[in-house]
Amino acid sequence: MSRKIDKTNPIWTKRDFAKAKPASELPPDILAAFPKTRGPQKTPKKVPVSLRLSPEVVKHFRASGPGWQARIDETLRKAMRHG
């Protein structure tokens, strides 16, 4: 299989990545071209954690589709109110 080389958009090397800057350091006129950039939350509402759950629990919630982690959060909140 041969790969076409796009000379207007070359493949980045490790050196290119090392020189790259975060979006927050780009000039305002360039940032304006990407209006949907989310940026950090003003007030984080959730805390990232690592949690071990039984395979059955994960399978059950994942089977319910996108948003399964939020549904686990809601289930735990209900348990707190009733516990």
Give tens-digit pLDDT for 5-42.
788 888 899 999 999 988 888 888 888 887 776 777 77
Is residue 27, in this structure, part of any structural domain at all? yes
Kindly write down the DSSP assignment for every residue of 23-76, as one continuous string: GGGS-HHHHTT-TT---S-SS-----------HHHHHHHHHT-TTHHHHHHHHH
The confidence band for 73, taking pLDDT boundaries of 50, 70 and 90, is very high
Q: Which domain holds residue 32?
A: 14-36+49-82
Is residue 8, in this structure, part of any structural domain at all? no
Count the domains in the chain: 1
Residue that wins the pLDDT comparison between 31 and 2: 31
Between 1-5, 23-27, 50-54, 69-73, the lowest mean confidence (pLDDT) is in 1-5
Round to whole Å and give the CA distance between 75 and 69.
Answer: 10
Positive/negative CA dihedral, 61, 63, 68, 74: negative
Is residue 4, in this structure, part of any structural domain at all? no
